[in-house]
A and B are shown apart, each in its own frame.
Chain A
């Protein structure tokens, strides 16, 4: 007897609890459970670190937990595909980058997601510039001299990249096409090895990502010729841009931003955009980003869509001219 009553009481209690929680579930504002932030790269890369730093702050501001879900593989396309197909309830977000939302769609023959149609862009958070460096032994002190050198010995110079189809390769290929020079591509496995090879003089040049090459440019182990951004970098104010060295309109950088699956409710997107903008612009994050060679950038969903479309155009052309094919 006693036993049954106790069980009944327990069941009743459990039921009322679940009803109560269902009620709060329906009423309470977003978010009421942890948010999953898909990072389409394995832990340790710059995208992962920025995602972790921003995710931590986003969780604090929203009063929930942001769980980083690393789904690395296939140049970031695997995780991005998972994010595209996730439930659009605001509890799955992804950190998209130039690689996942521009280069992969442009370079891969078949891709299982559409960078524009499958996502709701929220805002950019950071962007990393690229810096053209040469080994100090190379007889060129600026971009003009480097191009003259390459023209005087076509096919003799080498440049390193972080891999076939990486932004570091595309940046150099763009420069090659605009300047009409022939420099041989030597692919490495990431920015680090490419930087080491250039420092060791195994290859002569590298259009490297800022965090990887900046310390060496400062110490003199590498010579900086030009930055790929539209404006000069505050970290290296004396180094001119590629654009002002004779190639107007040249701009290459790697951006990182937040995306939600298509169909995520507008109020949630707006809330996230507001919070993320505040986070990215806070002095604390600015400092944190700058340590990682990045700078905070924020914008609106409309601007993001436009950015993706312009960049898709730009990089598709480069990829076609350079004959890069990924499968």
Chain B
């Protein structure tokens, strides 16, 4: 019912919002926010969280609406900036961008960085627009769904996510599963939420809060990639990174045609998972990747630069990032540290998020909704022309480019906690990532397991604590049971072709022998 009322009221409300938000001055703040956000977001390590924290004081002295619109700009700018580095130089600034790295960076290597960046921007804009409408129309009822998610539901969702992450690998399924277990083990490092005990910390206080995502991602992706490029020798470097022809800056009609479906599916997936506090964007991004890989008529390009592998996850990621505002605004529950900071910023500006947000200050609330959309639009307007510049950056000779990447990585990693320990750990993961490259073990499943693992263990133990040790809760609660059934199906479809393939290989070998 609430949704219906929302719909009837939508247009007058949106009008109010736009009246509040659209002034020359506010558009200026929005532009400044998107611009600053993009610049800061491009720096690896300095993801949305740190960027908003650093730029927050700049908004303190603005009028509320101006501050909100600037913050929205910063938020979207950093999100998109993160995808830019993932595509251009294989540096995922946050867990959702790991998926973008897989095909986005391959596209860049094929000289198609332009189309990858453009489709990411367009997909994000579409997802942002749809999800802004969803927040406006159905925010409160959707937030109720989040309340239905208890420990058993989260555990089952994580199990499904982990199994699906094996799809990210295009090589051996066995190795991908082993990498998932390895990632889960790295996720254990730190203080156990349930008992308060430190595990795998070797007595180092720098490890008490666990390994930071930035450290693991910069090591396994950025550092290892540079090592592997340097190891290739001069000729190969030239071939791969220097003289590679740039095939157009914009997507072709064919690209757009095969991406439209991916963008729409990605948006739907992101909107669904985004409302759940926690790992929304990450789960959305790679669920979308898994779906695209299964849906594509020709999935041979996945892992080698498939544009659907960028369009889908990027839309999903942005949709989830947008829908993460739903629990934040309507329940006052931030799903992530970034959202917590946005919540703080909103409170400073006089919007007390929570159930009353829509009725208390309708002008500010609808002003915020309008700002979100304007922020998304500004992002596309700013970034499409910038693509040419980014792509030019790739033509810088590699011997200048890689020290610059190393510098940004080093400062980025260091800036997270200002701890020397984090830098040493990045080296460790970098060398490990290089070994993975040599052994053809793909790091994406590992890093997703690393992100999801702690949530999984925490919720498993919490669920059993609440049920007083009764494991049937996972099957008697309908949402949880649904996820587990989906997991079983997924596993079945994944193993089936692998088994068939192996059997054929064995048969061939036997025949050859």
Chain A interfacial positions (CB closer than 8 Å to B): 42-46, 48-49, 52-53, 56, 68-75, 77-78, 81, 112, 158, 163-165, 184, 186-189, 192-193, 195-197, 199-200, 202-203, 212, 215-216, 218-219, 221, 288, 291-292, 324-327
Contacts and interface: CB of A to CB of B under 8 A. Distances in A.
For the residues of A in contact with B, the DSSP-based class is mixed
Contacts of A291: 347-348, 350, 352
Nearest to B341: A44
Contacts of A288: 348
Given A195-B333, A202-B150, A292-B347, A184 B209 contact: no
- Looking at B50, B205, B327, B356, which has the most chain A CB atoms within 10 Å of its CB? B205
Contacts of B418: 69-71
Interface in B166-207: 191, 193-198, 205-206
Contacts, number: 140
A19 to B, nearest CB: 33
B390 interface: no
Q: 4 closest A-B pairs (Cβ-Cβ)?
A: A215-B354, A43-B53, A74-B208, A164-B196
B337 interface: yes
Interface string B454-471: 000010001001100000
A173 B123 CA distance: 50
11 contacts: A43-B50, A44-B337, A44-B340, A44-B344, A77-B205, A195-B333, A196-B327, A215-B355, A219-B354, A325-B196, A327-B197
A192 B334 contact: yes
B60 interface: yes
Interface stretch (B125-133, B141-149, B222-230, B283-291): B141-149
A196 B333 contact: yes
B49 interface: yes
Given A192-B333, A202-B151, A48 B348 contact: no
B9 interface: no
A196 B56 contact: no
Nearest to A169: B196
Contacts of B337: 42-44
Interface string B440-463: 000000000000000000100010
Contact of A218 (B356, B458, B466): B356
B110 interface: no
A34 to B, nearest CB: 13
Given A44-B337, A73-B205, A75-B208, A193 B196 contact: no
A193 B276 CA distance: 11
Contacts of A218: 354, 356
Interface of B: 49-50, 52-53, 56-57, 60, 146-151, 191, 193-198, 205-206, 208-209, 277, 327, 331-334, 337-338, 340-341, 344, 347-348, 350, 352-356, 417-419, 458, 462, 465-466
A186 B466 CA distance: 7
A142 B194 CA distance: 29
Nearest to A215: B354
A294 B296 CA distance: 53
Contacts of A219: 354-356
A202 B459 CA distance: 12
Nearest to A49: B344
A200 B56 contact: no
B354 A193 contact: no
Contacts of A78: 205-206, 208, 417, 419
A216 B466 contact: no
Contacts of B341: 43-44, 49
Given A44-B53, A202-B466, A218-B356, A53 B331 contact: no
Nearest to A287: B350
A186 B462 contact: yes
Given A56-B57, A196-B277, A324-B196, A43 B49 contact: yes
Contacts of A42: 49, 337, 417
Contact of A70 (B52, B338, B353, B417): B417
A82 B50 CA distance: 20
Nearest to A77: B205
Contacts of B340: 44-45, 192
B209 A73 contact: yes
A48 B53 contact: yes
Contact of A196 (B331, B338, B462): B331
Given A71-B417, A71-B419, A187-B193, 15 more contacts: A43-B53, A52-B53, A52-B57, A70-B418, A72-B417, A74-B191, A78-B205, A78-B206, A199-B331, A200-B147, A202-B151, A219-B354, A291-B347, A326-B191, A327-B198
